[in-house]
Amino acid sequence: VERTLAIIKPDALGKAEEIEDIILRSGFSILQKRRVQLTPEQASDFYAEHFGKLFFPSLVAYMSSGPVITLVIARDKAISYWRELIGPTNALKARETHPDCLRAIYGTDDQRNGLHGSDSYSSAEREIRFFFPDSIVE
């Protein structure tokens, strides 16, 4: 099995239980879960790769605007499978092209898109360590 990091972002927090049900019904196990309020500094660190982009300041403001739920989820091909389930970055476009994806259902727009998923093995490991520094790596 493979692990990935999922985040239920501030705009989708009210639907967290529903989303966790979908995660479980999609064959994932939830290994760890934390509800956190990110400081702007933590949000900047998490999204450091986007530093300098036009949307960076508002992305940081959004991600620190309220609590998020971070989950370590696991299953076969977890990274790509979770990215497929959440769908394209822009929730508005996703509603047209991938109406069943989770961002189409729970996201708001191109920034407030409800959910995050690690995009590679190395980002999954980094992001899991970011939120769960004491997690044991098998």
- Enumerate binding residues for ligand ATP (CB under 6 A): 55, 59, 89, 110-111, 113, 116, 119
List helix spans (H) across the chain.
16-25, 40-46, 56-63, 78-86, 91-97, 102-106, 121-131
Q: How far is the CB of 136 from ligand ATP (least distance, A)?
A: 25
**CA 67 – CA 34 distance, rounded (Å):** 10
- Pick the closer one to ligand ATP by CB: 44 or 113: 113
- Pick the closer one to ligand ATP by CB: 6 or 72: 6
The catalytic position among 9, 83, 112, 116 is 116
**CA 138 – CA 133 distance, rounded (Å):** 14
- Pick the closer one to ligand ATP by CB: 20 or 112: 112
Q: 34: part of which helix (H) or strand (E)?
A: strand 29-36
Is-catalytic flag, 98? no
Binning the chain into helix, strand and coil, the percentages to the nearest 5 are 50, 20, 35
Q: How far is the CB of 59 from ligand ATP (least distance, A)?
A: 5
**CA 42 – CA 7 distance, rounded (Å):** 14
- Pick the closer one to ligand ATP by CB: 51 or 55: 55
Contact (CB, 8 A) for 62 and 112:
yes
- List active site positions: 116
